[in-house]
Chain A
Amino acid sequence: MTTTASPPTGAGNVRRGGTLYFGDPGMWSWVLHRITGVLTFFFLFVHVLDTALVRVSPSTYDEVIASYKTPLVNLLEVGLVGAVLYHALNGLRVMLVDFWSKGPRYQRQMLWGIVVIWLLVMIPGTYFMLERTISELFGGA
């Protein structure tokens, strides 16, 4: 295997008993992928149940959906969107590693790329998701 211009940290990858993977950002991206995936799956379970209340009555549905608008749950929604967004971006990265011939070579750069995209989306996204809750909590605006 030819080593092309790898980042200067390349040699430092071999650590902790000589493994390339353990403790590497690549491993943490995988750990985070699992955690965000499991959390999203559990949320999906609850979310289908709460949506099913539209078959009970409009008022029952509206009462339960009101809990989604409380400050604490609103904050959890930001966490959910962040988790799903990470899972989606990292999933695209995994696909590029699998199917793009240069994917494995650029996996690390792509990881930093998705971190940047995540921040670029989450900063304004968090603002729009919490705008109303915060203005109501603190009485401003």
Chain B
Amino acid sequence: MAESTTAIALDRPRSPRRPAARRSNFELYSWLFMRISGLALVVLVLGHLFIMNILDGGVHRINFAFVAGRWSSPFWQFWDLLMLWLAQLHGGNGLRTIIDDYARKGSTRFWLKMLLYVSMAVILVLGTLVIFTFDPNI
């Protein structure tokens, strides 16, 4: 970047002595993650919705035996695990952005995000555990 190094007194946002601690590429990576995960989720989620809701009788054929049949295949286990993680992180990051956009008070932001992160952790741990510990002979 060809930034002027002459000693001009710049206003606050462009001041060269901005605190270094605030500079991070997190938002760039989260922006990129939304696009990469989004692309994968288009296939994973639309495939899931098509199979579960539209194909061959849709939701009416879903029961425990149906789930047991699907999760007997490592392919669908991996599909669901990847979909769970990507959807939860993609959606969680989207909600984080929305909280930052609309919550005005610092404390409201903080507690809404805490609620978000706790619920994300609960869903990720629970979902992962269910996929890995599923027992068709329960």
Contacts and interface: CB of A to CB of B under 8 A. Distances in A.
Chains A and B form a bound pair: yes
B28 interface: no
A81 B53 contact: yes
B9 interface: no
A15 interface: no
Nearest to A98: B35
Nearest to B39: A95
How many interface residues does chain A have, given as a range?
35 or more
Interface stretch (B10-18, B19-27, B55-63, B103-111): B55-63
B53 A95 contact: no
B95 A38 contact: yes
B98 A38 contact: yes
5 contacts: A55-B134, A84-B46, A88-B41, A92-B42, A99-B35
Interface in B103-127: 119, 123, 126-127
Nearest to A56: B138
Binding site secondary structure of chain A: helix
B54 to A, nearest CB: 5
A77 B48 CA distance: 13
Contacts of A129: 53-54, 58-59
B103 to A, nearest CB: 14
Binding site secondary structure of chain B: helix
Q: Which 5 A-B pairs have the closest CB atoms?
A: A41-B91, A58-B64, A91-B38, A48-B127, A88-B42
Interface of B: 35, 38-39, 41-42, 45-46, 49, 53-54, 57-60, 62-65, 67, 84, 87-88, 91-92, 94-95, 98, 119, 123, 126-127, 129-130, 133-135, 138
A34 B98 contact: yes
Contacts of B130: 48, 51-52, 54-55
A61 B127 contact: no
B73 to A, nearest CB: 15
B64 A69 contact: no
B133 A55 contact: yes
Nearest to A132: B60
Contacts of A54: 64, 67, 130, 134, 138
A96 to B, nearest CB: 11
Contact of B127 (A38, A51, A81): A51
Given A41-B92, A88-B42, A132-B58, 13 more contacts: A44-B91, A49-B123, A51-B127, A55-B134, A57-B138, A62-B63, A69-B60, A74-B59, A81-B53, A84-B49, A88-B41, A88-B46, A132-B57
